[in-house]
Copies of this chain bind each other. A is one copy, B any other.
Amino acid sequence: MEKFAVLGCGVVGSGVVELFEKNKALIEKRCGKSLEMGYILDLRDFPDRPYGNKVVKSIDTILADNDVTVVAECMGGVEPAFTFVKACLEHGKSVSTSNKELVAKKGDILLKTAKEHNCNFFFEASVGGAIPIIRPMHKCLAANTFSAVAGILNGTTNFILNKMICDSMDFEAALKLAQELGYAEKDPTADVEGHDACRKICILSSLAFGKHVYPESVFTKGIREVELKDTKYCEQLGFAIKLIAQVKALDNGKILPTVMPMAVKNTNLLSQVNDVFNAVMTETDGADRSMFYGRGAGKFPTASAVLGDMIEQVQLDGTISAQTWESADNADFIEDFAAFSAKRYFRTTAADMAVLTEVFGDVEERTISDDEETVCIVNAEMNAAQVDAAVKALAQKGVQVLAQYPVLV
Residues of A within 8 A of B (CB): 19-20, 22-23, 26-27, 29-32, 124, 130-132, 135-136, 139-145, 210, 269, 272-273, 279, 284-295, 300-301, 303-305, 307-308, 310-312, 315-317, 319, 321-322
How far in angstroms is the closest Cβ of chain B from A281?
Answer: 8
**CB contact under 8 A between A287 and B294, given known A142-B311, A322-B30:** yes
> Please, which residues of chain B bring their CB within 8 A of the CB of A287?
130-131, 294-295, 300-301, 304-305
> Please, which residues of chain B bring their CB within 8 A of the CB of A286?
19, 23, 130, 300-301, 303-304, 307
Indicate if the CB atoms of A135 and B140 lie closer than 8 Å.
Answer: yes
Q: Give which listed residue, B31, B304, B311, contacts A284 with CB less than 8 A.
A: B304
How far in angstroms is the closest Cβ of chain B from A49?
Answer: 19
> Please, which residues of chain B bring their CB within 8 A of the CB of A315?
319, 321-322
How far in angstroms is the closest Cβ of chain B from A376?
Answer: 25
The complex is assembled from copies of this chain, and their number is 2
Indicate if the CB atoms of A143 and B19 lie closer than 8 Å.
Answer: yes
Indicate if the CB atoms of B143 and A285 lie closer than 8 Å.
Answer: no
> Please, which residues of chain B bring their CB within 8 A of the CB of A142?
27, 30, 307-308, 311-312
Q: How far is the CA of A289 from the CA of B307 in the complex (A)?
A: 17
Indicate if the CB atoms of B23 and A145 lie closer than 8 Å.
Answer: yes
Known: A130-B288, A286-B303, A287-B300. 12 other contacts (CB 8 A): A19-B285, A23-B145, A30-B322, A132-B292, A139-B312, A141-B304, A142-B312, A144-B304, A286-B300, A286-B301, A288-B295, A316-B316
Indicate if the CB atoms of A305 and B30 lie closer than 8 Å.
Answer: no
Q: How far is the CA of A288 from the CA of B301 in the complex (A)?
A: 7
> Please, which residues of chain B bring their CB within 8 A of the CB of A124?
140
Nearest B-chain residue to A287, judged by Cβ:
B130
Q: Could you list 10 A-B pairs, sorted by A, with CB under 8 Å?
A: A19-B285, A29-B210, A32-B322, A130-B288, A132-B139, A136-B136, A139-B312, A143-B308, A285-B300, A286-B300
Nearest B-chain residue to A288, judged by Cβ:
B295
Q: How far is the CA of A210 from the CA of B289 in the complex (A)?
A: 30
> Please, which residues of chain B bring their CB within 8 A of the CB of A210?
29
Q: How far is the CA of A301 from the CA of B282 in the complex (A)?
A: 13
Indicate if the CB atoms of A140 and B285 lie closer than 8 Å.
Answer: no
